[in-house]
């Protein structure tokens, strides 16, 4: 079971990785321990938000971490893009 300190460290690691990917438009909210070695991570962009799961093990390797984060923010990015298209028409 992760401690509060662990969860804060995971959140910081995820924030740094998102910024490293050039996606400083995506915010990281609450990070909680889910089940089976997964983290439940709240991601937001503008008025849109989602909760995605990221494996704790993926945070130990930069390549795996980047893949997990790109996968996690993909749905949010699509939602924001679709919303922008809907408003434009």
Model confidence pLDDT, tens digit, residues 25-80: 999 999 999 988 999 999 999 888 999 999 999 999 999 999 999 999 998 888 88
Report whether pLDDT(83) > 90: no
13 or 82: whose pLDDT is higher? 13
Report DSSP state, residue 21: T
Q: What pLDDT is recorded for position 39?
A: 96
Report whether pLDDT(8) > 80: yes
pTM over 0.75? The answer is: yes
Report DSSP state, residue 51: E
Contacts of 51 (CB under 8 A, 6+ apart): 40, 41, 42, 43
Chain position carrying tokens 């983290």: 39
Q: What pLDDT is recorded for position 23?
A: 92
Q: Where are the alpha helices (DSSP H) in the chain?
A: 4-20, 62-88
Contacts of 13 (CB under 8 A, 6+ apart): 59, 65
Q: What pLDDT is recorded for position 54?
A: 95
- Residue 89 structure tokens: 């028409």
């Amino acid at each position: 079971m992760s401690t509060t300190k662990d969860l804060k460290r995971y959140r910081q690691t995820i924030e740094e990785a998102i910024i490293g990917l050039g996606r400083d438009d995506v915010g990281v909210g609450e990070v909680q321990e889910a089940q089976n070695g997964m983290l439940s991570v709240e991601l937001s962009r503008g008025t849109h938000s989602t909760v995605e799961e990221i494996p704790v093990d993926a945070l130990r390797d930069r390549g795996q971490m980047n893949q997990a984060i790109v996968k996690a923010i993909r749905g949010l990015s699509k939602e924001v893009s679709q919303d922008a298209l809907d408003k434009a028409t």
